[in-house]
Each structure stands twice: as structure tokens, then as C-alpha cells.
Chain A
Amino acid sequence: AQKITQTQPGMFVQEKEAVTLDCTYDTSDPSYGLFWYKQPSSGEMIFLIYQGSYDQQNATEGRYSLNFQKARKSANLVISASQLGDSAMYFCAMRESGTGANNLFFGTGTRLTVIP
């Protein structure tokens, strides 16, 4: 089974509007971390936000917030007040603590296009 599932290959949003990018995960490890990265066409993966499995509150970083629903195993990224520079690929990723390593499992990504 896929550890990270992103079901939206592409999303469009009007500039200044909010958008939600979906992510569901699958793990039996009680301790895990969820990450969102942005990948512009240049290729570099830019860290956006992190949510730990034991965190009580949803993570927020500026215009980014993570809607963490543990029972549903979902970790959706919400981008508020979209900007043209937000157009990029967005990847959800998970790290499982039980592996003893820090490797990330990535989804297939969502391409976000911000329309002026």
C-alpha cells in the first residue's frame, strides 16, 4: 500500500484565494512526522511545514497551515492568500520513527497553478 497518497494531480486557484491540497497517509507506527515541500521548476525541494503525530495543534507557518486529522489519516495543506509565486509542485511526505532512519516517503505531488 502507498504510504502517502495525493489524489489531486493538478489544482488551480485564483490569486489571493485560499486552496487546500489533499494528503492521506498510511502507517502503523505510532510516532511519525508529516511534511510538506514545494518544488518549483528549478527542482529544489523547499520545506514548508511539519506536523508531528503527537502534536495537539495543527501546524502553521505564515500563509501555510496543516489540517491534521489523525483519525482520518489526513494531513492537508492549506495555502491562504495565494500568490503567483506559489505556482509549483507540492509534495506531502512522511517519516516513520520506527525505521531508525530519517528517510521520507513522498507522494506523487500536486501541481498548483495560481491564476492572476
Chain B
Amino acid sequence: DAGVTQSPTHLIKTRGQQVTLRCSPISGHKSVSWYQQVLGQGPQFIFQYYEKEERGRGNFPDRFSARQFPNYSSELNVNALLLGDSALYLCASSYRATGGETQYFGPGTRLLVL
């Protein structure tokens, strides 16, 4: 079975630009979460979506937005990019939104903002 997939794998943008990252969950999983991992740190929670509805939001500015589609795939959008947005963006999926479900992560998208 395919795991969580993310695209693109790498991305280079300049300050002020906008970026869209994509994630496809494990087949049958209905919940998708996004995390940002800055170099040398652990991942930080950005969003969780379940059944196309936002279930949780981390401490990130409104420049960050996301959505989930009927097939449970998800997009993360970041507007007005800053140098500090350079990070590994990880997507994770689980079957349910709560209840101790283990989250399985994708390989991530490495974003570099110049």
C-alpha cells in the first residue's frame, strides 16, 4: 500500500511569493495534518483537517492556509513568503481525527525562500 505522498519534493521561492504544497493521505485515511520543521527543531503543528473541515490550527499567521478535498487530499498554501518560512513541510495522515490515532508522515517538501 502506498504511504503518504507529497509534492513537490523541493521548492525554491523568493520573498513575497506564494506557494502551494500538496499531500495525498494513505488510502482510507480521512485526516490530514500539516507540520513545519525548521532546521534543527522538531516539527510544529500547523493545521489538521478531517472530512474537509478544519479540526485544529497551530500558532501560525494567517498567511498560512489549507484545505482538504473530497478525496481527502490536501493543500497547504503560504502567501507573502518570508525567509523564515524556509523549512521542511511534513504532511501526516490518520484514519480518524482523534482517539489516539497514529499519524503517518510523508517524505516532506523542502522549501527554500531566498
Residue positions of A touching B, CB distance < 8 A:
4, 33, 35, 37, 42-47, 50, 52, 91, 93, 95, 97, 99-109
Contact = CB atoms under 8 A, between A and B. Distances in A.
28 contacts: A33-B100, A37-B105, A43-B88, A43-B107, A43-B108, A44-B105, A45-B43, A45-B90, A45-B105, A46-B105, A47-B103, A50-B100, A52-B100, A95-B100, A97-B100, A100-B55, A100-B56, A101-B48, A101-B55, A101-B56, A102-B33, A102-B96, A103-B33, A103-B48, A103-B58, A106-B42, A106-B43, A109-B42
- The range of chain B's interface size is 20 to 34
A107 B41 CA distance: 8
Interface of B: 31, 33, 35, 40-45, 48, 55-56, 58, 88, 90, 92, 94, 96-98, 100-108, 110
Nearest to B48: A101
Contacts of A107: 42
B78 to A, nearest CB: 18
Contact of A106 (B33, B44, B98, B107): B44
B16 to A, nearest CB: 26
Contacts, number: 74
Contacts of B40: 108
A63 B101 CA distance: 22
B103 A42 contact: no
B89 to A, nearest CB: 10
B42 A102 contact: no
B31 to A, nearest CB: 6
B56 A108 contact: no
A106 B92 CA distance: 14
B105 A108 contact: no
A52 B101 CA distance: 11
A75 to B, nearest CB: 14
Contact of A44 (B44, B102, B103, B108): B108
Given A43-B107, A103-B58, 13 more contacts: A43-B88, A44-B105, A44-B107, A46-B105, A97-B98, A102-B56, A104-B35, A104-B43, A104-B45, A104-B92, A106-B42, A108-B41, A108-B42
